[in-house]
Amino acid sequence: MYISCCGSWQDDFRKWALPAFFYVRISCRTPLRRDGASRARWSQALGFVAKMSELIVDRIRDFLRSLLPSLDLELFDVQFRREGHGWVLRVFIDCDAGVSLDHCSAVSRELGHYLDVEDFIDHAYHLEVSSPGLERPLRSREDFIRFCGKNAKVKVHEAIDGLKVLEGIIEKVEDDSIYLKLADGSSVQFTFEMINKARLTI
C-alpha cells in the first residue's frame, strides 16, 4: 500500500484557511497486508481526509451563516462526504414559512460562486441544496416548541412505561418537559436530555 499526503497540511491545520493544494493518494499495488503498520497508515490516511472534510464544512458553515439571514433563511446542516458516485456537498436550509425552489436556487448560486472564487475543494463534487424535509430531525427543545401539533417519533435512552420508541403528536412544551400524545390517547412526558433521536413523521 502506498500513501502520499502532499501539501503543508501540518501548518495549515493551525490556520483557519485550507491549503491551496492537497491530496491523499492511496494505491494498493500489492495485496493489503493485515499487519499493524498497514492498518496504522490506513487509519492515518482516513483520519487526514476526515479532518480536511471537517475544515471544508466549517468554512462553508461560516459563509452560509453570513449569507442566509439576508434571504430570511437559516442553516440546518452541512454535510460533505464521499458516496458511491463521488463526493457530495449537501446543504440543508430552513425557513418558518417553508423552503421554496427559489430559495434553493438562490443559495446554490451564491454558494457555488463562493466555492469557485475561494477554490478550496480540489476535487470534483456534487452540490445539493434542499430543506430538511417533512421528516426532519428534532434537534433541540426549541424544535419541539416550533412543531407543536405535528406528529413525531422519539427514541429515548431509557424506557418510559416500557416503551423506548414513542410516536404521537407533540402536545406542548412546559419548562423542561415535553408532552407527546400517543395513538391510544394517553400522554407521555419526558425531557430533551432523555432523547436519543427524534424526528417529525408524516
Is 0.95 topped by the overall pTM?
Answer: no
Residue type, 103: H
CATH number at residue 55: 3.30.300.70
Length of the chain: 202
Among residues 107, 130, 153, the one where a domain terminates is 130
Is residue 14 located within the same domain as residue 37? yes
* pLDDT tens figures, 126-156: 999 999 988 999 999 999 999 999 999 999 9
Q: Does the residue 39 lie in any domain?
A: yes
User: By residue range, what is the domain housing residue 119?
Assistant: 2-130
Predicted confidence pLDDT, tens digits, the chain (202 residues)? 222 233 333 333 333 333 333 333 333 444 545 566 666 665 665 565 667 888 999 999 999 999 999 999 999 999 999 888 899 999 999 988 889 999 999 999 999 999 999 998 988 999 999 999 889 999 999 999 999 999 999 999 999 989 999 999 999 999 889 999 999 999 999 999 999 999 999 8
In a domain, 61, yes or no: yes
- The alpha carbon torsion through 64, 66, 68, 71 (nearest 10 deg) reads -150
Taking the C-alpha atoms of residue 153 and residue 199, their distance in angstroms, rounded to an integer, is 6
Contacts of 80 (CB under 8 A, 6+ apart): 53, 56, 57, 60, 87, 88, 89, 90, 125
117 & 149 share domain: no
Of the three residues 88, 108, 130, the one that is the final residue of a domain is 130
* Domain assignment present for 124: yes
Q: Is the domain of 158 the same as that of 113?
A: no
Q: What is the pLDDT of residues 152-171, one digit of tens each?
A: 999 999 999 899 999 999 99
The reply to whether 69 and 115 lie within a common domain is yes
* Pair 106, 151 in one domain: no
Distances (CA, A) of 141 to 134, 137, 176: 18, 12, 8
